[in-house]
Amino acid sequence: MSDDLVARAQAGDQTAFRELYRQHAGRVYALCLRLTGDGRDAEERTQDVFVRLWDKLRSFRGDSAFSSWLHRLAVNVVLNERRTTGRRERRVMPAEDPDNVAGAQHAAPLHLNIDLERAIAELPDGAREVFVLYDIEGYGHGEIAQLVGIAEGTSKAQLFRARRLLREKLER
Amino acid sequence: MNESELQDAVSRLPKSIEPPRDLWPGIEARLARSGGGAWRRRWYWVPLAAAAVLVFLLIARAERSAWDVTALAGRPLIGTTRLAASGRLRVGDWLQTDDSSRALIAVGRIGQVEVRPDTRVQLVVAKANEHRLALARGTIDAKVDAVPRLFFVETPAGTAIDLGCAYTLETDSVGHGLLHVTAGEVEFQTGSHSSRVPLGALAQIRPSTGPGIPYVEDAPAPFVRALIGFDLEQRGTRARAVRTVLALARPHDALSLWHVLQRVDPSLRGVVYDRLAALVPPPPGVTRRAAIALESRALEGYWTKIQRIHFRIMVLQGVREIDPRTGLAKP
């Protein structure tokens, strides 16, 4: 069923594409929400992912499951946006110690009423990205290093920091 | 909450969360604005790409810039030129100190290296994403404040890789040397063979075997001798050296045993693991089978715990007494 939808959407059928959106929006939104830690950003990134998907759909050859391919595309969209935004912000903001700003950068989205989700949202950007990709999405440190543009050692350090911060937050 | 409870909670998180509002209208509007064929909108990439290449070339050229050098004592040599007060070390240049001269090299914008007397060092790479020196002989004190793996020092026996730290590295021209880390952590690598040396630890370096098993500063001399003996033994004849190391090991020496586990013959891994687990119990999720099979996730998990305990001991030294088995403060 999904294969048929993909084929029709690849041929330009927007009704089929809308159905793909219906089927995958929840999965994509969950990923965006956890990677960004912000509900409004997550909505924007989810829209970005599906607009990008429309552009890239013809390059999907079926070598992997469509959902895996879309998932990877979504990760790239979110991380690229963060890199661009990060560069813009760094022009006007001094460097900061992520440990000291945990919780200050992001107001947790109102609909996140689960302690763990809220704690993840409040992690510093770098630590949150690595934690979500490694512990929730199952990526390896090598893949994360490539996706995020950091060294493998940094990925491990960020994961260690994220887990420590989460345990501390959840113990309060 | 411990590590295991956290992992349990993470595994229960839903894979899918419905957006709080329907996002399709916004997507549809953007698709309508884009007008179909993506390639039609992308003509502007040609001049943009050309401009980006030009900017990249200009930046790459700028990054080949030299590093500043200051004479701290005497008159060090850069190439064949005597350094009066300060100068520039360019890629390919050698800096040499005699028995009465010292110099300070600014490592780009990320740190500094003090070059002690009777030392010969070359600038190999000076880029924003790679800072690399070659230490042919002598002693340097490096201090780097940057993300890991930006600063490298090659020696005749391998490469010291900065993981955000300060350290002293000495070597002779053949490759016998010593790495002493005073802040953060350093990885010393020879081919696929590597040692992780955190603050307050040392590693002997040999030209034939590369980095030795690291040990803490206050490790008893017999333990250190046993480790060095282990490093120098050939594979297959290490059993006696291993048993001596295990017998003398204390909980503080867990970081040494973590390395020994990976270097012993497979038949000895079980006894090494059991001793390590008795001294510092493994964290949740690390099994004996996985550790003995040298599965990277198990080894990383164990190292994370050992490293955390070690850092707490070092950082809180003289302030609070830390239990070396758990990392918790003693009452």
Residue with tokens 């004849």: B237
H-helix segments, B220-328? 221-232, 239-248, 254-263, 269-279, 288-292, 296-315
pLDDT of residue B234: 63
**ipTM of the shown complex:** 0.81
Tokens for B6, please give them.
């956290």
Instruction: Enumerate domains of chain A plus CATH numbers.
Output: 1-95 (1.10.1740.10), 105-172 (1.10.10.10)
Determine the residue among B2, B13, B194, B197 to mutate to test chain A binding: the one whose Cβ has the most chain A Cβ atoms within 10 Å.
B13
Residue B38 confidence (pLDDT) above 50:
no
Q: Please tell me which of the candidates A22, A111, A163 has its beta carbon nearest to residue B6.
A: A163
Residue B326 has pLDDT above 80, yes or no: yes
Q: Which two tokens stand for residue B248?
A: 């003398």
Distances (CA, A) of B151 to A71, B97, B142, B166: 34, 22, 10, 11
**Contact residues, chain A, for B2 at CB < 8 Å:** 167
Give the confidence band of B44 by pLDDT, cuts at 50, 70, 90: low
Give me B20's structure tokens.
């709080």
Given an 8 Å threshold on Cβ–Cβ distance, is A43 in contact with B31? no
Tens of pLDDT, residue by residue over B94-142, are 999 999 999 999 999 899 999 999 999 999 999 888 999 999 999 999 9
pLDDT tens readout for residues B283-304:
999 999 999 999 999 999 999 9
Residues of A with CB under 8 A from a CB of B: 12, 14, 18, 21-22, 25-27, 29-30, 33, 39, 42-43, 46-47, 50-51, 54-55, 111, 114, 116-117, 135-136, 150-151, 153-154, 156-157, 160, 163, 166-167, 170-171
Q: Is the pTM of this model over 0.90?
A: no
The whole-angstrom separation of Cα B203 and Cα B186 is 10
Residue A49 in contact with residue A32, Cβ under 8 Å?
A: yes
Shortest CA distance from B41: residue in chain A: A55
Determine the number of helices (DSSP H) and then strands (DSSP E) in chain A: 9, 0
Query: Which tens digits make up the pLDDT trace of B219-251?
Result: 999 999 999 888 877 665 678 889 999 999 999
Q: What is the three-state SS of B163-175?
A: CCCEEEEEECCCC
Q: Enumerate domains of chain B plus CATH numbers.
A: 65-212 (2.60.120.1440), 219-331 (no CATH)
Question: CA-CA-CA-CA torsion for B208, B197, B297, A141, nearest 10 degrees?
Answer: -100
